[in-house]
Structure 1
């Protein structure tokens, strides 16, 4: 790989160059970052603002050495949606805050004990099937969004909007060159939105009426809701961090290869994990979803060979500004559900497929009964939506979280556990794929 930089980590671009390069990163993360809050019932404007604030915090904590952008995490869609609908947004924010604290604890342990233990705790045979569960568990949501009208009934017209969006996203992801190949989600949404406008599915009136400057509806603890932590919130959210931490490690290994530095050792995996967790805590304090480093933006780095942290910081500032522009917020809210459904069909499928790819690239042998048992249990518990009701305090552990817990326990308990290479996550994602959070 040619990673000779055009702009290195500490290089400051010229003003016009800085503007265009930062906007490029903004577009790369935009589609996925607004899709998550769209699906779980949170405000996309706050997701943008919290992603910008979280990225700036990450850059500070990693001593401005790691050029990464943090956007909304897809791994928490099911638990956040459940908490938001059943207990209100305050519960979802409490869960997001807990996830950030767990990241902080893991970072502290890694600083004291090193990082190999977590890689052995989360081998591909555990992480791969859980990633598959993440993608497939929301398959029904994607299909429903793609095929139904606002009343919840099947509609050929709305399905046509989803199919046009899906076709456009696939076309951009396979045939587009350079930067367009990195933003197939955003490009697909744009094409789907234009088609929806032509067939009369979009209500554009709110966009015309919206003010240019508009204060988002922040969800502030002790102001917007009473802070309350429960075991239900803990068991719904925290086990999913098993997957997102492994995803973070994978991104750091890929980023190290792209940039030509060893980020696991300097500034250290503990710092990058702490930065990731801090971004989620910030998000919880303003009303956004949990955060994760974005493969989309790593792809931009690989293509442009511009590694400057100033460019990533510029993208973060633009995201914050965009969150306060009423016209943009109204435009996001006006995107028809089937447009997002069409994108989701591909995006959720790619998440599941990336789990399969991890198993293939890691050469997992399913003739080994140990591997077969672990993967089988994770898939059925996760996709089947199994629920474990504990006999005290009415605690319930559901679906994906329960699958992750069972996977880790089986990996620890069953004999024959192989030692895992420190590069085990290196092939989780490729710069040639559509990157998912």
Structure 2
């Protein structure tokens, strides 16, 4: 135990410069694959996503008083809502929706500071959150398969592209199952790099954009009142804002896990209200730059657990490097040359893992689906969310499937008797307000 403690690097400890760089790069690699995948899927700039994740993480560290070593990257929960919002109002409309989702975080943080946690825990039991997370993953399944099988230009089936996707998937699976230690935490990165190399050997990759790109280049930021004039839309708000309920529960779970890893109660100090506020401000920063909403990353928590390096300076270093990478034109161009099939292959596993994590929440908390209330709530959420049901409130306002499933799940939980059955043994939902 003494040897273990000697290897720990404290939250406020600054490593030596050479170790600092290496440790920060580890966190960059851990978040990189997932962070660039989200903007790739929703047709936003990966370079902007890197910059916004870095700035968002620095803001998070500042708001949490440098007490929580967490990295923030692109949120997968918002993929479908961003696509829907972009269809209605372009990427600018999606940014407006993202901004208001960040505002919801801020409001929740202020309410928690004033009234405690119990009200939030009451509306987010595992029987609601688990199936909604499953909806996020399974709802994206057609997107992953389409990217893997079809030519992005002609939209026709292409066997050669599907083979690239399958090879990418195989590499990602092997890295997930057989790689140990830190390498086991970055299977997405291994999958993208390996799939890209295979696609290049098949003559699918065109490196012309990399050769033509400048070394230094400002990313394609989407800035309100500079590149566009924001337009308020109730329909986009209805699409984006309810997803914040889901990501809030994910945020709480991450804080619980990180608290166990570091052996400090971050829920109590600096307080859940600060970490949620930090998450919200990071999402707002991303929305005013043109990046996807941010969220704390489990991959980076895994790195912290393995390395026992808790330093916020290491996390901050990763954030600064991400910002720098966003301004390297050739690096940004290289990302754009990744074939859609490669991202499709990675997505097949990643979206499945998201869905499975929702199932795992039900299992870990011993949720009894033999109980009628639990069976009904989970069934309704899954079919409405995956089936794509929606409510047309007015000509301009629509509540889409994922948001509708979340809202109905919460309502059913609140009105059905025997609410304790919806929590199982969920410790993350039974904490007091301390």
TM-score normalised to structure 2 length: 0.96
Q: Give the one of 201, 204, 209 matched to 1:201.
A: 204
Q: Give the one of 359, 369, 372 matched to 1:369.
A: 372
Q: Distance in 1 between matches of 2:427 and 2:127?
A: 14
Q: CA deviation at 1:85?
A: 2.9
Say which is worse superposed, 95-104 or 5-14, in terms of deviation.
5-14
Q: CA deviation at 1:287?
A: 0.4
Partner of 1:172 in structure 2? Answer: 175
Q: Does 1:65 align with 2:67?
A: yes
Q: 1:255 to 1:425 in 2, by over 3 A?
A: farther
Q: CA deviation at 1:86?
A: 3.0
Q: Does 1:153 align with 2:194?
A: no
Q: Give the alignment of 1:38-187 within 5 angstroms.
A: 38-150=40-152, 151-187=154-190
Q: Give the alignment of 1:244-283 within 5 angstroms.
A: 244-283=247-286
Q: Does 1:343 align with 2:349?
A: no
- Which deviations, in whole Å up to 9, do the C-alpha atoms of 1:64-108 show, x marking residues without a partner? 000000000000101101222331111100011001000000000
Q: Distance in 1 between matches of 2:429 and 2:209?
A: 45
Asked if 2 retains the 8 angstrom alpha-carbon contact of 1:250 and 1:425, the reply is no
Q: Secondary structure at the match of 1:286?
A: coil
Q: Does 1:315 align with 2:326?
A: no
Say which is worse superposed, 394-403 or 410-419, in terms of deviation.
410-419
Q: Distance in 1 between matches of 2:126 and 2:216?
A: 46
Q: Does 1:229 align with 2:229?
A: no
Q: Which runs of 4+ in 1 moved over 4 A?
A: 419-422
Asked if 2 retains the 8 angstrom alpha-carbon contact of 1:84 and 1:90, the reply is yes
Q: Give the one of 398, 401, 404 matched to 1:402.
A: 404
Number of residue-to-residue matches in the alignment: 425
Q: Distance in 2 between matches of 1:231 and 1:143?
A: 31
Partner of 2:288 in structure 1? Answer: 285
- Which deviations, in whole Å up to 9, do the C-alpha atoms of 1:127-146 show, x marking residues without a partner? 00000000011100100100
TM-score normalised to structure 1 length: 0.95
Asked if 1 retains the 8 angstrom alpha-carbon contact of 2:236 and 2:397, the reply is no
Q: Let me know the Cα RMSD of the aligned residues.
A: 1.5
Partner of 1:304 in structure 2? Answer: 307
Q: Distance in 1 between matches of 2:49 and 2:391?
A: 31
Asked if 1 retains the 8 angstrom alpha-carbon contact of 2:60 and 2:281, the reply is yes
Asked if 2 retains the 8 angstrom alpha-carbon contact of 1:249 and 1:425, the reply is no
Q: Secondary structure at the match of 1:87?
A: helix
Q: Distance in 1 between matches of 2:270 and 2:118?
A: 16
Q: Does 1:36 align with 2:34?
A: no
Q: CA deviation at 1:211?
A: 1.0
| Structure 2 alignment gaps of length 5 or more | none
Q: 1:176 to 1:208 in 2, by over 3 A?
A: same
Q: Distance in 1 between matches of 2:103 and 2:88?
A: 23
Q: Secondary structure at the match of 2:70?
A: coil
Q: Distance in 1 between matches of 2:103 and 2:151?
A: 40
Say which is worse superposed, 337-346 or 233-242, in terms of deviation.
233-242
Q: Give the one of 219, 224, 239 matched to 2:222.
A: 219
Asked if 2 retains the 8 angstrom alpha-carbon contact of 1:116 and 1:422, the reply is no
Q: CA deviation at 1:425?
A: 6.3
Q: Secondary structure at the match of 1:88?
A: helix
